C-alpha cells in the first residue's frame, strides 16, 4: 500500500475519536461524583470503612487517568490534520500519484532534451516549457519528501497520549489483580497493592491543573482589560 493522506477522511476519523474521548471524559467525571457519593453515604462497619479507603485511594486516580488520556487523545487528533496541512499540503496527497507524475515529468524532459538538441537555434518557447516541467517535478519531489518526513514525525504527536495511556494501563492492571481484597478478613487492604501508578497520574494531573489555572488567569486578565476599556458616563436627569 502506498502512503496516502486524504484530508476529509482523516478529519472525519479525528472528529470521531475526539467525540468518543470527550464522552469518556464526561463518564469519568460522573465516576468521581459516584465515588464522592459513596464516601459520604451514612454507612459504617469494618468492610465499609475499608471499602471507603480503597475506593478513595484507587478510583479517583483511575478517573483522572482516563481523563488525562482522553484529553491527550483529543489534542493529538486536533494537531494531526493541522500539522499535515501546515507542513505538507492542504489537499489530499497520494504517494503513487506523486511518483507517477515525477516519472512522467522526467520522461517529458528527456523527450524535450532530444528535441532541443536537434534544433539549430534555441527555441525560447520550448525552453520555457522545459523549465516549467522542471519546476513541476521539483515541486512534486519536495511534496513527496514532506509526506515522508511527516509520516516519520507524526507518531510524536501521540507521545503524550501514549504516556498517559501507559499510566492508566498500569492502574487498570493493578485493580484487575484484585489483590486489595482480603477474603479472610472480608475487607479491603490497599497495602497489598502497588500504588506507584497513582503517583504518576497525580503528577500529570497536577500539571493539568496548573495549565488550566494559567489559561484561566490569562482569560481573566483579558476580560479585565476589556472592561477597563469601557468608559462610564454619568447622566444627571435632574433639572
pLDDT tens digits for 217-227?
A: 888 777 777 77
Sequence ranges of the domains in the chain: 4-93+153-225
Express each pLDDT in 66-112 by its tens digit. Answer: 999 999 999 999 999 999 999 999 999 999 999 999 999 999 999 99
pTM: 0.77
pLDDT at 76: 94
Express each pLDDT in 26-54 by its tens digit. Answer: 877 777 777 777 667 676 788 888 888 89
In Å, what is the CA distance from 170 to each residue of 17, 52, 70? Answer: 23, 22, 16
What is the arithmetic mean of pLDDT over 151-177?
94
- Reported as a pLDDT band with limits 50, 70 and 90, residue 238 is low
pLDDT at 206: 94
What is the arithmetic mean of pLDDT over 190-209?
94
Over 70: is that where the pLDDT of 142 sits?
A: yes
- Reported as a pLDDT band with limits 50, 70 and 90, residue 235 is low
pLDDT at 69: 93
pLDDT at 89: 94
pLDDT at 215: 85
pLDDT at 234: 57
Q: What is the mean pLDDT of the chain?
A: 88
pLDDT at 25: 83
What is the arithmetic mean of pLDDT over 12-30?
86
Amino acid at each position: 500500500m502506498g502512503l496516502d493522506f486524504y484530508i476529509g477522511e482523516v478529519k472525519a476519523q479525528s472528529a470521531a475519536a475526539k467525540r468518543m474521548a470527550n464522552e469518556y471524559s464526561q463518564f469519568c467525571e460522573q465516576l468521581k461524583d459516584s465515588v464522592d457519593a459513596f464516601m459520604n453515604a451514612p454507612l459504617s462497619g469494618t468492610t465499609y470503612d475499608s471499602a471507603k479507603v480503597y475506593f478513595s485511594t484507587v478510583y479517583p486516580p483511575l478517573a483522572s487517568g482516563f481523563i488525562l488520556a482522553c484529553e491527550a487523545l483529543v489534542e493529538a487528533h486536533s494537531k494531526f490534520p493541522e500539522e499535515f496541512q501546515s507542513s505538507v499540503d492542504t489537499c489530499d496527497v497520494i504517494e503513487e500519484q506523486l511518483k507517477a507524475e515525477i516519472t512522467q515529468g522526467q520522461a517529458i524532459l528527456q523527450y524535450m532534451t532530444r528535441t532541443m538538441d536537434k534544433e539549430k537555434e534555441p527555441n525560447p518557447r520550448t525552453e520555457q516549457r522545459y523549465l516549467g516541467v522542471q519546476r513541476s517535478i521539483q515541486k512534486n519531489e519536495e511534496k513527496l519528501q514532506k509526506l515522508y518526513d511527516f509520516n516519520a514525525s507524526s507518531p510524536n504527536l501521540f507521545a503524550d497520549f501514549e504516556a498517559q495511556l501507559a499510566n492508566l494501563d498500569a492502574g487498570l492492571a493493578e485493580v484487575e489483580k484484585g489483590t486489595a481484597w482480603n477474603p479472610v478478613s472480608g475487607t479491603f487492604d490497599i497495602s497489598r497493592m502497588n500504588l506507584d501508578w497513582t503517583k504518576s497520574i497525580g503528577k500529570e494531573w497536577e500539571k493539568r491543573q496548573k495549565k488550566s489555572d494559567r489559561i484561566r488567569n490569562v482569560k481573566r486578565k483579558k476580560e479585565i482589560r476589556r472592561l477597563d476599556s469601557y468608559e462610564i458616563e454619568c447622566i444627571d436627569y435632574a433639572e
